[in-house]
Structure 1
């Protein structure tokens, strides 16, 4: 008696052969194309995203130098006057009802919002793919840039020793008060504005996930 013959393996249907050779996979397992290969479905990898996020945070924070210079240049000056009372120098506001102090905070806030908008647009155009690390880096970089701008503006402005300035200027002579940020909440204007605009741009113009291939037989036209 002869041994039973093993039935031959049935040929693979043409649509399954095409699916196996296609870089897009099958049953919804897709990949994103790029110039040097293929992204996996979840992106280029966490290490790459973290590296890009770190570079983004440093670059955004470095722009805070420009914000600090503009704030020092554009912020209104608060006039002070020095007088001698009982042999001691006393410094007071020349215009007690003036709103220059509010203008200093407002100038910083408006400039920070503008910088947040510009940084959000630039980051979106450079890294249109987005991702959580990139968004966090944008916020952290904006906050660090605001702090850097604040400290730089204070350093560029008049000295903090107002008594010494009053003595140098002379009795009854007006001089500028040190540049300071009264409302520390203005430091959040840059990261807040950047996050809102970047999320809006991503929602409107960001890349969309490709439609998954339906499970089951798929006929290739012309096959």
Structure 2
């Protein structure tokens, strides 16, 4: 009888020689992962992009807020003013059944909605994409613009001191009351309109994200590879 053959240097056949690196273990393959989408390639890539979007959001919010000055000018021009009249003792409404106060609030709301839609459409045409920083910038800028328009309209309107204004014009003379916003909830009409408009434009016209590649499931269920051209498949 002969002794069994022993590998060189008494090393097991399955162990590598000294100085040789073992082959790396096979990593599980994700069929839904896009090519070149390793974790090391994307680490830290969102920092500069997020910082740029935040800077653009601040600029957009300031530009939208400045448009509130034009809102105040139009509100003072288009809104109905409340006529007042005074005697030697007090100031009264000239038309006790008038609806000027409701018309003033309604005019502000309609103008704010229009400004929200127009400013959002202009920003979307400039950027052609959405994102949370952009929506936040439009909402914050719209709210600041509505407040600025409200203050501008009151400043451009008639005197806020009704008693001094009545004394200035004299008793029995009709004069316009101060421009006031009765429903303070009208200030959110601009940001709400901007947010809804941005969501609608993004859903309709924003570029779609590319679809992930379909996984290749061939050979996963015991299917044999097709035979090469000009060769017959092996007999069973």
C-alpha spacing 1:135/1:149, structure 2 compared with 1 (3 Å): same
Aligned match of 1:56: 60
5+ unaligned residues in a row in structure 2: which ranges?
1-7, 9-15, 24-31, 38-43, 218-236
Return the TM-score normalized by structure 2: 0.72
**Residues in 2 aligned to 1:42 and 1:208: alpha-carbon distance in whole angstroms:** 19
Deviation of 1:175 (Å): 0.3
Q: Deviations over 1:45-88 (max 9, x none)?
A: 1101100100110010010010010001111110001111xxxx
Answer yes or no: is the 8 Å Cα contact 1:56–1:138 preserved in 2: yes
Alpha-carbon RMSD = 2.7
Report what 1:47 is aligned to. 51
3-state SS, counterpart of residue 138 of structure 1: helix
1:188 & 1:109 partners in 2: Cα distance?
9
Larger Rg: 2
Larger proportion of strand: 1
2:115 aligned with 1:109:
no
For residue 22 of structure 1, what is the aligned residue in structure 2?
A: none
How many residue pairs align between the two structures? 188
- Residue 123 of structure 1 corresponds to 123
The answer to whether the 8 Å contact 1:29/1:41 transfers is no
State how far apart, in whole Å, the 1-side matches of 2:200 and 2:60 are.
19
Provide the TM-score with structure 1 as the length reference: 0.76
Unaligned runs of at least 5 residues, structure 1 = 10-25, 32-39, 218-223
Secondary structure at the aligned position of 1:80 is classed as strand
